[in-house]
């Protein structure tokens, strides 16, 4: 009998032999299925940066799409594609501010979404006009868009509690499904209804406009503020990074536009002017405004924080991104004119589209920036008025820019951008220094 009874040592050995296995299995399950909620001070994950890299390519594709149809309709179509790409990116900005992207299902899901988004970006050039052979291009973009948004809702369901599933999943699905249906109609119906290609193009564009409006306006009524913004710093970092991605695309456009021309003094001068404008855009946003926006979000209550995040970031950052991307049109045209003198005269002015991209883009960026400041915080009124004044100056200079050379038009824009920065530093120096010090100090405390 005594031989059959386990000893104390045997019990301990048996226990320690099984506990590590159970703990290992539990850790493995947690690693695959566990959730890591976002807290104040959470940093941007590597997986989110990987997702953002796709949009570098997507923004380059947008520029190429417009260049291939260098007409007002081409510009409008490029902006419509940008709007849907932006809505896809923004959906995951909301999601990864609730659950960290480096753990469990979120990590795997974001990798899958990144791959589908890359395919969506690849299809940009055949979204409106198909190429012979292969898949039908105009259907690829809406299919990928539907998959990305559906995966977002599936991950959303994983993030929220069970009692909120109908409210947070079914309601947002309505405008998404409706907009996707309109995109599919644009790809399939007009070509079968109209014989005139002009009518087909107009109908396709109108269906895309309606799809964007349905998706954007539908989101205004969504009762999902409880999901909230759990880290103001993470949220602001995400939007700051996507602006840097857009600025990066502008720099890439400057470089690629000059890649097939000989380096000359006119080319170098034009490139330096373009880099001055691009640097001014970076300064305008990140010098003070981004820090003040982050502080405003940190101080807001949950419901107000949601409203500010939706209006000032999800909506008002889109025209900022468009305002960064549009000047690349004028810059590409300018470099082409200066670099191919056998085809273009050196004194040739910019076309209406090039001028719209160059001046209209910067004006759009500044106006969106002012609207963002008014919505998020009014602590920097002096800077608001300097930017409004810059917009008025640029509007007054448009008739002049239409008559002078392309390089001269870019030079005027660079001069206004540089003067704007100098004036803001001078007239708002004390307030600016105080805001920067308080904002940077708050970041250091986290």
Q: pLDDT digits over 47-71, tens only?
A: 999 999 999 999 999 999 999 999 9
| Inter-CA distances, 238 with 30, 45, 252, Å | 26, 10, 21
pLDDT of amino acid 435? 67
Give the start-to-end residue ranges of the domains of the chain.
Answer: 37-227, 230-446
pLDDT of amino acid 7? 44
Q: Please report which confidence band the pLDDT of residue 3 belongs to, taking 50, 70 and 90 as the band edges.
A: very low
pLDDT of amino acid 393? 97
> Cβ distance 329 to 359 under 8 Å?
no
pLDDT at 25 over 70: no
pLDDT at 385 over 80: yes
- The helix/strand/coil state of 99 is strand
Q: pLDDT digits over 387-438, tens only?
A: 999 999 999 999 999 999 888 999 999 999 999 999 888 877 666 666 666 6
For the question of whether the overall pTM of this predicted structure is more than 0.95, the answer is no
Q: What percent of the chain has pLDDT over 90?
A: 48
- Report d(CA 210, CA 217) in Å as an integer: 10
Structure tokens at 247: 């600025």
Q: pLDDT digits over 172-210, tens only?
A: 788 899 999 999 999 999 988 898 889 999 999 999 999
pLDDT of amino acid 304? 87
337-345 long-range contacts (CB < 8 A, ≥24 apart) are 337/406, 338/261, 338/264, 338/266, 338/267, 338/270, 338/406, 338/407, 339/258, 339/260, 339/261, 339/262, 339/264, 339/267, 340/261
Our CA angle for 46, 51, 56, nearest 5°, is: 115
Q: Please report which confidence band the pLDDT of residue 14 belongs to, taking 50, 70 and 90 as the band edges.
A: very low
> Cβ distance 240 to 49 under 8 Å?
no
Q: pLDDT digits over 302-339, tens only?
A: 888 888 998 999 999 999 999 999 998 888 888 877 76
pLDDT of amino acid 9? 44
């Amino acid at each position: 009998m005594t031989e059959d009874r386990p000893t104390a040592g045997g019990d301990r050995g048996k226990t320690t032999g099984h506990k590590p296995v159970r703990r290992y299995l539990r850790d493995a399950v947690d690693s695959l299925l566990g959730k890591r909620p976002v807290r104040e001070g959470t940093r941007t994950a590597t997986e989110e940066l990987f997702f953002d890299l796709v949009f570098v390519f997507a923004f380059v594709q947008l520029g190429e799409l417009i260049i291939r149809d260098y007409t007002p309709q081409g510009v409008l179509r490029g902006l419509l594609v940008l709007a849907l790409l932006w809505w896809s990116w923004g959906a995951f900005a909301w999601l990864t501010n609730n659950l960290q992207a480096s753990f469990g299902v979120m990590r795997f899901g974001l990798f899958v979404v990144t791959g589908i988004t890359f395919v969506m970006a690849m299809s940009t050039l055949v979204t409106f006009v198909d190429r012979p052979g292969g898949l039908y291009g105009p259907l690829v973009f809406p299919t990928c868009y539907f998959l990305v948004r559906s995966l977002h809702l599936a991950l959303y369901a994983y993030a929220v509690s069970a009692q909120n599933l109908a409210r947070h999943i079914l309601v947002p699905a309505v405008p998404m499904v409706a907009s996707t249906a309109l995109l599919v109609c644009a790809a399939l119906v007009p070509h079968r209804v109209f014989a005139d290609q002009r009518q087909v193009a107009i109908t396709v564009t109108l269906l895309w406009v309606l799809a964007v409006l349905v998706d954007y306006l539908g989101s205004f009524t969504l009762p999902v503020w409880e999901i909230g913004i759990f880290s103001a710093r993470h949220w602001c970092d995400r939007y700051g990074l996507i602006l840097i991605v857009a600025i990066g695309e502008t720099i890439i456009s400057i470089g690629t536009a000059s890649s097939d021309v000989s380096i000359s003094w006119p080319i170098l001068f034009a490139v330096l002017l373009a880099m001055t404008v691009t640097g001014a855009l970076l300064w305008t946003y990140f010098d003070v405004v981004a820090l003040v926006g982050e502080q405003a979000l940190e101080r807001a209550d949950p419901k107000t924080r949601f409203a500010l995040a939706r209006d000032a970031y999800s909506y008002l950052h889109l025209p900022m991104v468009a305002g960064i991307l549009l000047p690349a049109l004028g810059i590409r045209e300018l470099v082409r004119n200066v670099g191919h003198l056998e085809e273009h005269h050196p004194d040739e002015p910019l076309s209406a589209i090039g001028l719209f991209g160059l001046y209209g883009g910067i004006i759009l960026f500044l106006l969106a920036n002012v609207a963002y400041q008014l919505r998020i915080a009014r602590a920097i009124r002096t800077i608001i008025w300097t930017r409004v004044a810059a917009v008025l100056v640029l509007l007054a200079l448009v008739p002049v820019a239409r008559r002078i050379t392309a390089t001269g038009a870019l030079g005027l824009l660079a001069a206004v951008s540089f003067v704007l920065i100098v004036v803001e530093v001078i007239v708002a120096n004390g307030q600016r220094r105080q805001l920067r010090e308080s904002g940077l100090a708050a970041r250091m405390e986290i």
